[in-house]
Structure 1
């Protein structure tokens, strides 16, 4: 794409805030929310009110299928004892339907219009550039590329990518993210956008990180990683290269990782969603190496080794409880 195109994305609440809004909406409709706590959440950030309004709008479109799902689940039992947990699981399904539809509705069209290369969920795609560089895109990733005479420019809209950049001092290689910029001449590094942060992990060469605010800058050495966030550039720290680059070998690698983080990672590679119904389960530790092209096997290993159960609500939703 050329420099005269507008790569900006529409201003809207980020995915994490939208997910919070959906959670509040679901709890309010189930009469399981503290009204004062909800009002405090609304007042804490002007984006919260906008996100809640979007969630309400989408819920109006999805309320009928959600009710049908709840009625189907509750209708499978005649005992009062079972109604409340099943209603809760159906509500979780409705929440995930809303989240999935909402995030697609808000983000995907704008990103697709601006992107040159996109991977779907579960895909991994290498891209060879004219200068000899290679970018490998992980699951659900979108980038735009502009190879100009005075510089090489990439914009990472979402997802994760591995960069193997060919040296060319006369044509700097820059990668822009919503949180800041990575600038190199020749190097190898991993870049991932998640939860409002851009994680940069360097294995070879040097990279300069520039935050979204003036004066925010950091140079990374091999073996160091840092985050670009709305608050600035984090201090450098060592990283586990085996774990960070595992996706290039089609692997998940977990070392005493909280279940909540493991589930979030598995969800990146699956068209459906796994949700954790009980907070007490979120900190259970998981260790192991699994295949990214078979997230179902990873889920089965987790349910076989941890003290929890899995209930499949639809073809796209599994609830851990």
Structure 2
């Protein structure tokens, strides 16, 4: 189970921008530098995001770097150094940095902005929203999710633009209820089910009744998959390949009660879900730890405790830097 609420490029650029501001405010902090280095080395995408930000700062050509190691990268094309404006007042420099980075982030955050403009309902971190549709159906929208309603000309259709939602559909024998999520389409008459869409795949789990889920670009149409209570299916966004599994019907949509139920999921994917319920910025600094698989139930109402319970059996530790940053690594 994974989730990618924002365009990955804009997300990482925003994270890099936050690190620039934090380090600029407290450049002598060894903890800040160590935590930053852990974030930067997490993946090549993190390195690239930081290099892109450094390159933008270097283009100003106005000052010497305030922390030269942070401007260096192992990539051949990395900028020589990150140049930041030098001011006599650190707070003034930070304020100007925030203004500049915010302006740059507008461009990189455009995909997220487009989602907000095109959706009828959008949730933020730790927010669950209940939506009552005109046909009597209800939708519970998970944190950091977006939904668009397309009821028209006798058609009951909604689009899950991002994230996860639990549908309890009112029966109407004259009109099927359709959910479009990425490259997947779900059709029902009256039932209760959960849909979770990411950039990589869409997962449909059934709590009551039956649904038909299929890849929209699949051929032939007979590739439809009928699901009964306790059935789940994950459809790959790129290939349309469907993988079926069994779940406990009572656990479908358990996030609505503040419970995350996972079976043979990677720690990294579970962390991705918990991020939507925690206002702190969470980074998984140990890639090998993230690859470990777990089966269990985690308390989404206490994200910090859930993270600890998740990684502790594998020698992991959650380090808190204030109330806004959590770094997960080995002991």
Q: Same fold (TM over 0.5)?
A: yes
C-alpha distance in 2 between matches for 1:84 and 1:138: 34
Which one has a larger percent helix, Structure 1 or Structure 2? 1
In the other structure, the counterpart of 2:261 is: 253
Post-superposition Cα deviations, 1:283-320, rounded to whole Å, max 9, x if no partner, equal: 44555533322212223444665523333346433111
Asked if 1 retains the 8 angstrom alpha-carbon contact of 2:159 and 2:181, the reply is: yes
The verdict on how the C-alpha distance between 1:142 and 1:71 changes in structure 2, with shifts beyond 3 A counting, is closer
Find out whether 1:169 has 2:173 as its counterpart: yes
The verdict on how the C-alpha distance between 1:256 and 1:15 changes in structure 2, with shifts beyond 3 A counting, is closer
In the other structure, the counterpart of 2:195 is: 191
In the other structure, the counterpart of 1:88 is: 37
Shift of 1:73: 6.7
In the other structure, the counterpart of 2:283 is: 275
In the other structure, the counterpart of 2:66 is: none
Asked if 1 retains the 8 angstrom alpha-carbon contact of 2:166 and 2:195, the reply is: yes
Q: Structure 2 unaligned runs (5+)?
A: 51-101
C-alpha distance in 2 between matches for 1:133 and 1:309: 43
Shift of 1:103: 10
Find out whether 1:225 has 2:256 as its counterpart: no
In the other structure, the counterpart of 1:33 is: none
1:109 aligned to which of 100, 113, 120: 113
C-alpha distance in 2 between matches for 1:143 and 1:156: 5
The verdict on how the C-alpha distance between 1:152 and 1:103 changes in structure 2, with shifts beyond 3 A counting, is farther
C-alpha distance in 1 between matches for 2:186 and 2:251: 21
Post-superposition Cα deviations, 1:181-229, rounded to whole Å, max 9, x if no partner, equal: 1111112111001242110112322322232324343132312222232
2:270 aligned to which of 236, 255, 262: 262
In the other structure, the counterpart of 1:289 is: 297
In the other structure, the counterpart of 2:72 is: none
Shift of 1:161: 0.8
Find out whether 1:299 has 2:307 as its counterpart: yes
Post-superposition Cα deviations, 1:55-102, rounded to whole Å, max 9, x if no partner, equal: 99x58x966x6445346676234xxxx998455136469959x69968
Q: Provide the secondary structure at the position in 2 that maps to 1:265.
A: helix
2:220 aligned to which of 215, 222, 235: 215
Shift of 1:137: 0.9
Q: Structure 1 unaligned runs (5+)?
A: 1-13, 23-53
The verdict on how the C-alpha distance between 1:279 and 1:74 changes in structure 2, with shifts beyond 3 A counting, is farther
- Measured on the aligned residues, the alpha-carbon RMSD in Å equals 3.8
C-alpha distance in 2 between matches for 1:103 and 1:281: 34
Counting matched residue pairs gives: 267
In the other structure, the counterpart of 2:160 is: 156
In the other structure, the counterpart of 2:151 is: 147
C-alpha distance in 1 between matches for 2:108 and 2:201: 20
Q: Provide the secondary structure at the position in 1 that maps to 2:125.
A: coil
Asked if 2 retains the 8 angstrom alpha-carbon contact of 1:73 and 1:86, the reply is: no
C-alpha distance in 2 between matches for 1:239 and 1:147: 31
C-alpha distance in 2 between matches for 1:245 and 1:199: 12
